[in-house]
Amino acid sequence: MPVTLRIAFRNLFEHKSKSLIIGILLALGAFVLVVGNSFIDASRQGIRTAFTDNYTGDVFVSGISSEGAVSLFGVTSVGGLAATPVIPDFDKVLATIKASPIVDKATGIATGYALVTRGDEPKPADTSSKDENDPASRFLFLFGIDARDYWTVFNSIDIASGSALKPGQTGLVINEKQLAKISKWMGRELGIGDKIVVQGFSSSGMKIRELTIVATYRQKGDGASPEQMAFVDIDTLRVMAGMTVGSNEAITLTKSETSMLSTDNTDALFGDNLFDAAPTNAGFNEKLIQSQLADTTAREKANTADTGAWQFIVIKTKNHAGVPALIKNLNASFQKDGIAAVAGDWQKAAGPYGQSVDVIRIVFTIAIAILSIVAIIIIMNTFVISVIERTGEIGTMRAIGAEKGFIRKLFAAEAVVLSLIFSTIGAFLGMGFVAILRALRLEAGNTFLEVLFGGKYLSPFVTPVSFFLAIAAMIAVGYIAHLYPVSVALKIQPVRAMQQD
């Protein structure tokens, strides 16, 4: 083999132009792979860190919905109107979670969406049409939290003014930037102690609540976190999301309440003299109906939070390596106890946002596959020209006793050596380019780029795996590209090959 390598190096230098053309293509391929993977790795790590540090923890437990996958943002269903399920037997589930030695901290949460409204306030005269028509300036992604332990599980925000929600306290903790946008939209400066009217919307309809601003916050670090994220006490969120006592209670009508449904005299029931001339045997009783309409019990239950309702449990672990085992054990326990709950990692919790990384990776992989096919064809054509020019050399070697296997090994060695040298150069160039991009700290100008960048700034990085994978991939491309032209050359008879110039 050392002899084969020496001959391979000699032949590469003797055919510098062809070697350089092939080498540049291989270096470019390695460069693209290194840079592309650095973007994907940065995006994945950025999104994972943002979600695990701010929203989901390391493990995420939710109820099970027949409508679709459940994530922190609700149920992925047709029309997006499916109700987010609550976790059944919440206390039992939480006890099972906290009994695991891997678990460090855990807390229950619920989420919802809302828009700030003006209520009875007049529209300010100086509000621009842009602010008026931009719902993002008053949109809130609400987190209903248990103030007893939420702030110990997540420590990703700094309180800018006021104080964080305390156990039993009702109020709103809002991002200071979003509050500034809402103030501009309202036409007046809002601060701690002020009240705003919030309209929550969910699958159960819309609910309006007046909330007191108890604190403003700013996000720690450069992670991708929406300014619309706000925190409220869990009972307020439950009411706004339709998680009330009334929603879980079966309605039973008494005989007197259903008596009017049994009447056969529909003309009397819907006649002109509905209240004055309704026959007594029709079952219609005006006073009874009025008393029933005056009964506010059902309405009060519809506005009373179900204190046992939680949509999610988020878990921080002591060791990230134990996350897969914890998820497996929890799901086995839920299935054994017949509890309709499921555990998953941060990507399950992130839903469509977590899947965006996989989509980017798939698109990049397809692009690389197409690029590799094109590169193989170009390199193959270049190899064909090179081999044709060396047909006489091949014939001479065959004539003096070189077997086909030796010829194949020689050209394979040339392809591998050429690929190794230039792909390594390309990989190092890619690493240098990534380092420059990271130093520039290019800022994402919108939410999509924040997701793509994995944070507010472009911070790509090269892992050893992606570096060596790029080199290995280009070596494979070079090796595959040389097979066809060599096989064609070996089909020529040695005597005819020696006659070629």
Question: Among 391, 309, 298, 398, which residue's Cα sits nearest to residue 111?
Answer: 309
What is the token pair recorded at 284?
A: 């219609």
What pLDDT score does 196 carry? 92
Q: Per DSSP, what are the bridge partners of residue 141?
A: 113, 229
- State the sign of the Cα–Cα–Cα–Cα dihedral 452, 454, 457, 463: negative
Distances (CA, A) of 403 to 23, 481, 490: 28, 21, 10
Q: Report the Cα 319 to chain-centroid distance in Å.
A: 22
What pLDDT is recorded for position 384?
74
Crossing angle of helices 464-490 and 404-440, in 10° steps, is: 150
What is the pLDDT, as a whole number, of residue 376? 74
User: What's the pLDDT at 358?
Assistant: 72
Phi-psi region of 268 (alpha: psi -120 to 50; beta: other; left: phi over 0): alpha
Q: Where are the alpha helices (DSSP H) in 55-80?
A: none
Residue 397: what pLDDT?
Answer: 75
**What is the H or E stretch that residue 139 is in?**
strand 139-145
Among 289, 283, 281, 277, CA closest to 261:
283
Q: Would you call 330 exposed, middle or buried from its count of C-beta atoms within 10 A (0-12, 13-18, 19+)? A: buried
pLDDT averages per 10-residue partition of the chain, 501 residues: 68 74 86 87 79 86 88 76 86 92 92 85 62 71 91 88 91 93 90 91 79 91 72 90 62 59 56 52 59 55 63 91 92 92 88 73 78 76 72 73 79 85 94 92 72 73 92 88 78 63 54
**pLDDT of amino acid 216:** 95
Phi, psi (rounded to 5 degrees) for 312: -140, 160
Give residue limits of the domains in the chain.
2-50+355-498, 59-244+305-344, 255-302
Q: How many CB atoms lie within 10 A of CB 150?
A: 20
